[in-house]
Every structure is written in structure tokens, then in C-alpha cells.
């Protein structure tokens, strides 16, 4: 009896170890049982929904329960959404640091190892890494993944460009200035830009920052590294240049009253030669205004210089309370690797789908805006000039710093020096809380 018991125990232990080992080596997946992924997406961006539809087509046991919200609302509500009992499995993340500091996001290091995300270029994931306690960013554990990797640059209206004799993208800031002056002289609005609600002038400003200085110190500031400042001589030059554009009348006089969607509508309607915006609009422009618009990366100060601009992932994370974390992680991996998903990502998202370096970017329509923006992305990658968005430095720096100060600058109420000083002061005040 004793021997029999010992034998039974040995079998049980063997099975248990085997089961444990099997669980350890099995990559996370959605399994075969029905799964309803609780997802929280951003209103106005069809890409995540289209990807989820394709995912359900390929994995019929997985359905998505999608809620949508405006980006600004998500910035404000994400902590509460993540702290709910039925927190989303998958959600669009406006910022990471506060969420990590409050243990609301799932640490993805395990998935990084199990799903082979080490095959992704390290630079793709750097913005998604956070040290314990929420700062600094850029190093530490992985807390999110990108659905794609977008960048900001300059869209242009081909018909208006032809009208002023623009035959190719400008290669220096001086060439861009000359084109702006020509447009103004020809009675064409040089730059269509929004600045109501959220400061859209942050896009041209950060592009100019990239033209005048290296991206690393700006990233250090965004990642909240000790002693980092946005108030540098290079950034001051950029802010002064932006102010000169404002004073020259290159932007709409009512820019402070223009919302993002109004800007898009007016630009598509033919108002404005240039527009500083992200390549997430490439797919939209190709679909709704095929052949009418182009895209180029912000030129450098000197010809042949290093290109740098805002480029960041379309960030998605998994709640620390997620009921289907494995399936959500599998979805994020699938988006980057699956051929059909990558095609959707480029066609709808208009941006680089990221993923392992050896995977080719899906082919796009020759002459399309998406083709131009992907080419610009290659140029940025070669120069290693990606910066996170200056509005992502803290959870509130956009609403309390950049937006009001840029609006003041447009209204002639703020100087370039004052702009950078005020934003730096607000940044330090927020970090000290």
C-alpha cells in the first residue's frame, strides 16, 4: 500500500511538472474557447476596429466588445477606466508614466520574452519602456506596444505646389521658407494648421526643433530624465522661427479658432499649401482625395543634415486587471506579424506597421501619399531621428503648458522665450507633485 502510494505520488508529480513545463513553454494565445476581448479605442481612428474585424475572421472564437472615446477624454479618464473591475483587456494609451506609477498597466516583459518581441528593433519599443515608479521613461520594463509607428511631417497640396513652381520637396528650412513666401505672394494660404482645444502648433514647433537640434535632449525631457530642459538655445531658435511664420501671416488668422477636424476639412477642400500633421492621415487622404496630396519629412537646417521629427507608436496597453491578458498580447503580436494585418495597417493607418525588422512593408499604390510617408519614415529611421511627442512629457503638459502658451503665441501674447520658460516651469511644477 505504502509502495503503491509512493508510485501514485511519483506519477502525479511527473504529470504536474510536465503540465507546468508545458504551460511555461506555450506561447500566449487566445486558445479555442470563446473569448470576448474588452477593448477601448479612440474615436475617429478606424484602424483598430478594422484590425479587430480581421482578427475575428481569422480567429472566430474571439470577438471584440469595443467602446470608443475622444483622445482628450481618454487622457483624462484612463486611470479610472483602468481601475474599474471590468477594466479593458486592450486600450489605447494616451500616456504611460502616471498609469505605471499607479500599477494600472500590465508589465509586458513576460510577453516580450514569450512572443519574441526581441526580434523587433529596440528603437521601436524604447518609448514604451518605463522604470518602476513611472519615471523616467525610455528604459525599464515594457508596458505597451504600438499598433503602428507614425511620424509627423508636412503634407502638401499638389495643385497649389505646382501653381508656385514647387517641383520637389524642400531640402532645407531656407527652401521651405522660400516656398512659404511664394505661396503668400501668390495669395495662397501657406500653412493650414489648427490650434483650438489642443495646440496643433506643437507639430510645426517640434518639426522645427528637429531641424535646429538633435532629438536626444528632447527625448530626455519627454522621458522625464533628471535635469532635462526644453528651454535650450536650439529649441529657442525653433520657437523664434515659428514666431516668424506667425508674424509673416503664414498661418490662418483664425488658427486659434480652428479645430483638428476643421483643419482637415479645409485642407482637403484646397485651403493651404502645407499642413503639419501625422502620417496617420495618409490612408485617409489616399482614400478620399487620391492623387491630390503629397508628404515630405521636415527638411534640415543645412542640406544633407540629420532628419528628426516626432515619431511615436500608436500605443496600446493591457490593463493590470485584464481578464484576457494573454489574448490581448497575442493580438498585439499578430498585428505586427500577420501579413493581412500589416496590409490593413498600412492601407488604413497609413504608417509603418513595425514588427520584426526582417518583415517587408506591404506594397502601396505608387504615387500615393502613403508611399511618400513610408519613404519619409525610412529616411527618419536611417537618421535615427525619432522623437516622442513633446505633449507626452507628462499627463497634463499639453493642456496646461503647450496648448495655452502656443495659443498665446499665435495671438501675439507670448514670446518664444516666454513660451519655453512657461512650459518648462509647468513641467517642473508637475514633476514636483
Q: What angle do CA 298, 300, 305 make, to 5 degrees?
A: 135
Minimum Å distance from CB 275 to another protein?
17
Q: Per CB under 8 A, does 408 bind another protein? A: yes
143 to 53, 216, 266, 355: CA distances (angstroms):
25, 21, 38, 16
Contacts with another protein in 250-309 (CB under 8 A)?
Answer: 252-258, 262
Which residue from 95, 125, 150, 145 is spatially nearest to 397, judged by alpha carbons? 95
Minimum Å distance from CB 130 to another protein?
16
Cell digits of residue 225: 530624465
Nearer to another protein (CB atom), residue 177 or residue 405: 405
Q: What angle do CA 118, 147, 211 make, to 5 degrees?
A: 90
Q: Per CB under 8 A, does 392 bind another protein? A: no
Residue 167 DSSP SS3: coil
Beta strands in 2-88 (DSSP E): 35-42, 62-69
Q: Per CB under 8 A, does 428 bind another protein? A: no
Nearer to another protein (CB atom), residue 16 or residue 102: 102
Q: Per CB under 8 A, does 395 bind another protein? A: yes
247 to 33, 37, 244, 403: CA distances (angstroms):
62, 50, 5, 19
- Burial (CB count within 10 angstroms: exposed 0-12, middle 13-18, buried 19+), residue 369: buried
Candidates 324, 407, 423, 427; binder of another protein (CB under 8 A) is 407
Nearer to another protein (CB atom), residue 170 or residue 199: 199
Radius of gyration of the chain (CA): 24
Nearer to another protein (CB atom), residue 64 or residue 194: 194
Cis-peptide, bond into residue 136, ω within 30° of zero: yes
Minimum Å distance from CB 83 to another protein?
6
Q: Per CB under 8 A, does 76 bind another protein? A: yes
Minimum Å distance from CB 94 to another protein?
10
Binding mask 102-131 for another protein (x = CB under 8 A): x-x---------------------------
CA atoms within 13 A on the CB side of 317: 31
Cell digits of residue 83: 481601475
Q: Residue 44 and residue 191: Cα distance in Å, rounded?
A: 23
Q: Per CB under 8 A, does 181 bind another protein? A: no
Nearer to another protein (CB atom), residue 382 or residue 413: 413
Residues near another protein (CB under 8 A), total? 37
Q: Output the 3-class SS for 309-320.
A: EEEEEEEEECEC
Binding mask 183-222 for another protein (x = CB under 8 A): ------------xxx-------------------------
Minimum Å distance from CB 199 to another protein?
9
Minimum Å distance from CB 226 to another protein?
21
Contacts with another protein, residue ranges (CB under 8 A): 75-77, 79-80, 83, 98, 101-102, 104, 195-197, 252-258, 262, 395-396, 399-400, 403-405, 407-408, 410-414, 430, 433
Amino acid at each position: 500500500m505504502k509502495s503503491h502510494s509512493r508510485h501514485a505520488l511519483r506519477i502525479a508529480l511527473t504529470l504536474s511538472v510536465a503540465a507546468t513545463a508545458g504551460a511555461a513553454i506555450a506561447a500566449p494565445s487566445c486558445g479555442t474557447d470563446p473569448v470576448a476581448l474588452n477593448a477601448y479605442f479612440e474615436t475617429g481612428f478606424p484602424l483598430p476596429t478594422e484590425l479587430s474585424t480581421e482578427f475575428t475572421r481569422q480567429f472566430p472564437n474571439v470577438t471584440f466588445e469595443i467602446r470608443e472615446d475622444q483622445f482628450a477624454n481618454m487622457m483624462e479618464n484612463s486611470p479610472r477606466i483602468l481601475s474599474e473591475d471590468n477594466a479593458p483587456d486592450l486600450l489605447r494609451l494616451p500616456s504611460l508614466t502616471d498609469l505605471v506609477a499607479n500599477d494600472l498597466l500590465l508589465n509586458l516583459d513576460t510577453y516580450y520574452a514569450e512572443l519574441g518581441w526581441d526580434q523587433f528593433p529596440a528603437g521601436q519599443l524604447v518609448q514604451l519602456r518605463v522604470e518602476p515608479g513611472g519615471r523616467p521613461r525610455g528604459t525599464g520594463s515594457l508596458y505597451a506596444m504600438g499598433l503602428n509607428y507614425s511620424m509627423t511631417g508636412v503634407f502638401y497640396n499638389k495643385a497649389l505646389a505646382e501653381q508656385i513652381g514647387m517641383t520637389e520637396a524642400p531640402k532645407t528650412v531656407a527652401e521651405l521658407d522660400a516656398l512659404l513666401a511664394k505661396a503668400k505672394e501668390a495669395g495662397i494660404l501657406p500653412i493650414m494648421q489648427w490650434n483650438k482645444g489642443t495646440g496643433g502648433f506643437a507639430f510645426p514647433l517640434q518639426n522645427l526643433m528637429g531641424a535646429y537640434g538633435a532629438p536626444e535632449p528632447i527625448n530626455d525631457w519627454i522621458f522625464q530624465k533628471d535635469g532635462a530642459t526644453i528651454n535650450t538655445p536650439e529649441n529657442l531658435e525653433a520657437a523664434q522661427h515659428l514666431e516668424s511664420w506667425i508674424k509673416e501671416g503664414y498661418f490662418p488668422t483664425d488658427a486659434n479658432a480652428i479645430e483638428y477636424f476643421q483643419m482637415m476639412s479645409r485642407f482637403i477642400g484646397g485651403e493651404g499649401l502645407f499642413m503639419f500633421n501625422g502620417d496617420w492621415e495618409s490612408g485617409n487622404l489616399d482614400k478620399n482625395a487620391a492623387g491630390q496630396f503629397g508628404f515630405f519629412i521636415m527638411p534640415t537646417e543645412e542640406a544633407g543634415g540629420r532628419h528628426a521629427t516626432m515619431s511615436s507608436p500608436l500605443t496600446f496597453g493591457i490593463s493590470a486587471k485584464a481578464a484576457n491578458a494573454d489574448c490581448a498580447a497575442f493580438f498585439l503580436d499578430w498585428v505586427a506579424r500577420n501579413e493581412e494585418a500589416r496590409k490593413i495597417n498600412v492601407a488604413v493607418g497609413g504608417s509603418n506597421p513595425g514588427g520584426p525588422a526582417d518583415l517587408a512593408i506591404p506594397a502601396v499604390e505608387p504615387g500615393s501619399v502613403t508611399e511618400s510617408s513610408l519613404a519619409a519614415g525610412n529616411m527618419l529611421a536611417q537618421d535615427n531621428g525619432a522623437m516622442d511627442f513633446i505633449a507626452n512629457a507628462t499627463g497634463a503638459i499639453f493642456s496646461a503648458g503647450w496648448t495655452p502658451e502656443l495659443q498665446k503665441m499665435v495671438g501675439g501674447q507670448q514670446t518664444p522665450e516666454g513660451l519655453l520658460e512657461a512650459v518648462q516651469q509647468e513641467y517642473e511644477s508637475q514633476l514636483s507633485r
